[in-house]
Amino acid sequence: MLRILRAFAWMRWRMLVNSLEKTGSRDALERFSLAIEKLGPILAGVLLIPSVIVLAGLGGAAGFSLARGERDAITVQAARYILLLLPVIVVAGPLLLPGSSGSNPVRLLLLPIGRSTLYVAQCASAFGDPWQILSAPLILFVAFGLLAGGAPVAAAITLCGALLLIAFLMGLGTLATSGIHLLFRNRRRGELVALLFIVFIPLVGMLPAFLSQQRDLSLPAWFESTGRRALARLPPQLYLTASTDAASGAYARSIASLSVLAVLTVIPHGVGFAIFRRVLDSPASSGGCRGGRMHPVWIRRLPGLSSGASAVALAHLRLALRTPRGRSVLLSPIVLFAFLGLLMYRGSGVMDLGPFQFESGIGLAAFTSFFCLMAVVPISMNQFAIDRAGLTLMLLSPLTEGELLAGKAAGNALIGLAPSLLCFVAALVMFPAGPPSLWISVPIGLTTVSLVVAPVAAIASAAFPKSVDLNTVGSNNAHGVAAFIGMLSFVAAAAPPALLALVAVSWLDRPALAPVFITVWCAVAYVISRLAFIAARRIFHARRENLAMLA
């Protein structure tokens, strides 16, 4: 088995080295783009070294404090909170950074290797995840801290608990990875899970802000007592309890905690092995065919566009509507608006979230509508590569480059239009206070932002393409450089209309002039966009072959 594990480790190393080798069929810009993408994880690994040292020092300090009888020391409390977060990070890690879930374990069935050995190899590969690398020093060095504090027996017991906790986290990570594989075998089921996860993450991030405003919120007593009992049975808490009892000389209670931890460690490995076998036995993918009830809608011609550009725009919109990543772009701004609208409604039309303060629906409408445009960055800043094989068909079709770029720009605008329009109308209905001139300024300002950003998105997508799968949860964002350019371009494009509105309201004290100023700027932005699209067409023409190779 050890020889097989060494072979797997060498294979992963060779895959990393091969991905960094120079590819002669690509130009210098393409190699630069790939180098940034491949060197990013390496740089992140180098940056992990200081974090590993700090966490190891924290674990050692926590163990030393326990050896001296300081159970409530800040180092012990910090280690406890970090360890309690580990199971959540291990489960969510394969979804956020699905590096391990990207490989297909079914291909390994062609090798003369038993399934139990394949499972052990899968568990060993989970140890290379960044959250495992960061947590292992913290867990192990508690024992070294106890040893340095003069408690060798407690250090030995803690070391056994550390090994059990690491094994539990590896089994939990393997269980999560195998579950992801099994869920995404069915296309429809995988799309639903991906969409729910992508929309659920922003809700979790906004939950602390919501709870901070609930000053009189109280939980039932039974809920709190149940939560405390469940918390005491979590493997990280059992590990800390065993270490604390061993440091105080209560070896019997410490051994009992380790016994419970050992039982809990077996559970994820048993369930994980069963799911892993199910993954190996299940087909590669499944899912029904899509119906064609909406076919008449997708063959219509959009006003102001040629038939070819209209077809490209509708195909771009259809791609967003049919993929989890595209649907998240449409739904996440609506979820944000619902959350902010609820806070504002509870605040009688006023909301204070630190840097964001809304005293009327105009601010809420402007902020959420702008966020709707920003949410399209993963698609707009990678608008060519997301088509994959469809890009090759478009390049072979009798479309001019101008029609293709115009269709893509119109498609990005359509993707951001629906949620921004919904947010604007809902804000106007819920909080109609404010000058009508400022309400009119919001859609005009959003139009100027779309005009300025459209050629920038075309240039960034052509210069820094990235092959992605919009049907997955992770690894479907635009290239890092392109996404950064997109964020800067959106902020820069939103600055002029915001400043013009500020001048009309605060400096001249005439809000009625705001839509006039922004309309004039909209005409200027249209001219800037047309001139910038000349450069975009030239760059796209120079990058056609590379984009086709990427597809």
Calpha distance 454→320 (Å, rounded): 17
43 pLDDT higher than 70: no
Domain extent, residue 451, equals 296-550
What's the pLDDT at 306? 87
499 pLDDT higher than 90: yes
Residue in the structure block whose two tokens are 């027996």: 153
Do 65 and 121 reside in the same domain of the chain? yes
Quote the mean pLDDT of the chain.
Answer: 80
Do 463 and 389 reside in the same domain of the chain? yes
Length of the chain: 551
Interval 259-270: pLDDT, tens:
999 999 999 999
Other C-beta atoms closer than 10 Å to the C-beta of 250 total 16
Which of 168-172, 386-390, 452-456 is predicted with the least confidence, judged by mean pLDDT?
386-390
502 pLDDT higher than 60: yes
Among residues 236, 93, 274, which one has the least CA distance to residue 177? 93
Q: Which of 281, 304, 334 is the last residue of a domain?
A: 281
Do 346 and 275 reside in the same domain of the chain? no
Do 123 and 205 reside in the same domain of the chain? yes
Calpha distance 127→15 (Å, rounded): 17
What's the pLDDT at 492? 93
What's the pLDDT at 452? 93
305 domain residue, yes or no: yes
Among residues 173, 179, 95, 180, which one has the least CA distance to residue 134? 173
Percentages helix, strand, coil for the chain, rounded to the nearest 5? 80, 0, 20
Do 406 and 435 reside in the same domain of the chain? yes
Q: How many domains does the chain have?
A: 2
455 pLDDT higher than 90: yes
Q: Using 50, 70 and 90 to split pLDDT, how confident is the model at 100?
A: very low
- Measure CA of the first residue to CA of the last residue in the chain; give whole Å: 39
Q: Which of 225, 246, 281 is the last residue of a domain?
A: 281
Alpha helices in 464-513 (DSSP H): 480-502
CB contact at 8 A, 339 and 203: yes
Could you tell me which residue, 107 or 428, shows the higher pLDDT? 428
Interval 369-414: pLDDT, tens:
998 888 899 899 989 888 888 888 888 888 888 899 999 999 999 9
Which of 36-45, 260-269, 282-291, 385-394 is predicted with the least confidence, judged by mean pLDDT?
282-291
Calpha distance 533→21 (Å, rounded): 34
CB contact at 8 A, 455 and 410: no
Do 272 and 300 reside in the same domain of the chain? no
Do 121 and 195 reside in the same domain of the chain? yes
Calpha distance 33→357 (Å, rounded): 39
Do 274 and 333 reside in the same domain of the chain? no
Do 307 and 266 reside in the same domain of the chain? no
203 domain residue, yes or no: yes
Calpha distance 121→119 (Å, rounded): 5
Q: Which of 250, 281, 312 is the last residue of a domain?
A: 281
CB contact at 8 A, 455 and 536: yes
Calpha distance 407→309 (Å, rounded): 4
324 domain residue, yes or no: yes
DSSP-derived 3-state class of residue 152: helix
What's the pLDDT at 102? 46
Q: Using 50, 70 and 90 to split pLDDT, how confident is the model at 99?
A: very low
